[in-house]
């Protein structure tokens, strides 16, 4: 149990530096996790901080909480600043008030590697934010705060216009994650480092959303077909209200690779779940999430593709494209009518989220997992309680397209990505997490 409050001298230090902290402090997952590990912040406090839309708001909320979190909060906060490479802020906080009166603000920062907290200081903060987003991911982990529950009031006000989502479990979830590819059969397909993080993240979040999750890793194209066919035929689909399918691999437009280098057409996957082929899921929402490239292009502003074959950067970002050139050539040889096409509008009650736009690459961090899966996990945990799934996918896209990756020595290097989703939903789709109607 925490003692009531922070020591008065520490409280004054925070108050004295609050303006600079709000401008320069980077409140990212690593800093929050450090404070959680010291039992300074609870999970609900961490959620409320990270749910803020801007860095300045996250900083302000944290600074409001810290003085109430006991006498250890100040030292723990300073330790977290050091761990997240914000030593200059730690030094400011621990600097004695007497020293403040003996030197001018300009002199105080002479030995600091960072500029004064003016416009230049704000620019320095932006650079640190990008670094924390990408390079600090080596020591970071996906957000794992509990899925926030739906309230009875929200359920009662939205259940009439929504898909039925009362069963427990809500449904069955299938995750197929290809991480390692056969070096003989598929020599051009590199291992998808970080893919193992993705399937574990999906397993956890959908389990918390009350789905029974099955994960299969490293399947050939035929193995994926067999796995999906068996999943479609489960007789217990009759007793649940929805299903989820997640496919993670290298890919091209309209298809993903098996570990043997053969392609599985996504059109066949969607057909397997349509009203004719999967009658037990008729009129029930079917959710698909595809983490794979759909081409080689980057969305905008690319000066250097941050992948193992195209850069000497030690960054963790890779693409999930695989052999797009060969796949596109084969498609052209088959002609337009032979190209894999997605016809979701002709199949009711389906929604599919893609990690990238048609013809573009999807980004994956080799330590933390794919950008798309990271943001999907975060949005589901924080917003599934009161947000339509289509709106969640819009949020995911907005968060992804603002990511920027920086390679050392290339200050203007940017890799931006946009996700996409298609929908043939006939009603609102709310997951109503952790809510069970009372009959």
- Answer yes or no: are the C-beta atoms of 421 and 354 closer than 8 Å: yes
| Residue 33, both tokens | 């996790």
- Answer yes or no: are the C-beta atoms of 396 and 372 closer than 8 Å: yes
> CA dist 258 to 320, 357, 368, Å?
13, 21, 22
Cα–Cα distance between 10 and 63 in angstroms, integer? 12
> CA dist 230 to 166, 223, 235, 286, 317, Å?
25, 11, 10, 16, 34
Cα–Cα distance between 223 and 231 in angstroms, integer? 12
Query: Pick the catalytic residue: 150, 243, 278, 293?
Result: 293
Q: Please spell the DSSP secondary structure of 31-82, one letter per residue.
A: HHHHHHHTTSS-HHHHHHHHTSSSHHHHHHHHHHHGGGS-TTHHHHHHHHHH
Strands (DSSP E) found in 171-266: 171-177, 211-217, 242-248, 251-252, 255-257, 263-265
90 among known catalytic residues: no
Strands (DSSP E) found in 218-333: 242-248, 251-252, 255-257, 263-265, 286-291, 317-319
Kindly report the backbone phi and psi dihedral angles of residue 135, in degrees, each rounded to the nearest multiple of 5, phi listed first: -70, -35
Query: Pick the catalytic residue: 237, 250, 388, 413?
Result: 250
- Answer yes or no: are the C-beta atoms of 35 and 76 closer than 8 Å: yes
Which letter does DSSP use for residue 154 in this model? H
Crossing angle of helices 73-83 and 29-37, in 10° steps, is: 140
293 among known catalytic residues: yes
**Number of neighbours of residue 384 by Cβ within 10 angstroms:** 23
Kindly list the catalytic residues: 250, 293
């Amino acid at each position: 149990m925490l003692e009531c409050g922070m020591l008065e001298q520490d409280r004054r230090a925070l108050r004295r530096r609050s303006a600079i902290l709000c401008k320069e402090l980077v409140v990212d997952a690593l800093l929050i996790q450090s404070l959680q590990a010291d039992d300074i912040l609870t999970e609900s406090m961490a959620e409320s901080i990270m749910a803020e839309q801007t860095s300045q708001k996250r900083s302000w909320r944290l600074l409001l909480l810290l003085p109430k979190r006991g006498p250890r909060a100040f030292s723990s906060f300073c330790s977290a600043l050091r761990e997240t490479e914000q030593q200059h802020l730690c030094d400011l906080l621990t600097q004695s008030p007497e020293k403040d009166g003996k030197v001018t603000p300009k002199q105080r920062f002479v030995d600091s590697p960072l500029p004064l907290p003016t416009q230049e200081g704000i620019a320095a903060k932006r650079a640190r934010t990008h670094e924390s987003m990408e390079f600090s991911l080596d020591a970071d982990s996906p957000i794992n705060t509990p899925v926030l529950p739906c309230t009875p009031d929200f359920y009662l006000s939205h259940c009439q216009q929504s898909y039925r989502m009362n069963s427990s479990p809500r449904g069955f979830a299938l995750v197929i994650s290809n991480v390692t590819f056969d070096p003989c059969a598929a020599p051009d397909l590199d291992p998808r480092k970080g893919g193992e993080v993705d399937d574990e993240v999906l397993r956890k979040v959908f389990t918390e959303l009350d789905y029974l999750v099955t994960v299969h890793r490293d399947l050939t194209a035929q193995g994926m077909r067999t796995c999906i066919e068996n999943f479609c035929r489960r007789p217990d689909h009759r007793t649940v209200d929805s299903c989820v399918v997640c496919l993670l691999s290298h890919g091209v437009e309209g298809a993903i690779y098996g570990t043997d280098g053969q392609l599985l057409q996504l059109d066949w996957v969607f057909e397997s779940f349509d009203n004719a082929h999967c009658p037990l899921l008729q009129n029930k929402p079917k959710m698909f999430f595809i983490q794979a490239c759909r081409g080689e292009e980057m969305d905008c502003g690319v000066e250097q593709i941050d992948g193992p074959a195209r850069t000497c950067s030690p960054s963790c970002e890779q693409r999930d494209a695989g052999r797009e050139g060969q796949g596109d050539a084969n498609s052209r040889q088959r002609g337009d009518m032979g190209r894999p096409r997605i016809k979701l509008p002709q199949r009711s009650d389906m929604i599919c989220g893609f990690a990238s736009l048609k013809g573009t690459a999807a980004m994956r961090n080799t330590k933390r997992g794919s950008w798309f899966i990271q943001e999907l996990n975060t949005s589901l945990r924080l917003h599934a309680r009161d947000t339509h799934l289509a709106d969640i996918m819009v949020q995911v896209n907005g968060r992804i397209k603002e990511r920027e990756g920086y390679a050392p020595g290339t200050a203007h290097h940017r890799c931006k990505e946009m996700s996409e989703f298609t929908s043939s939903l006939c009603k609102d789709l709310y997951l109503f997490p952790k809510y069970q109607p009372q009959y």
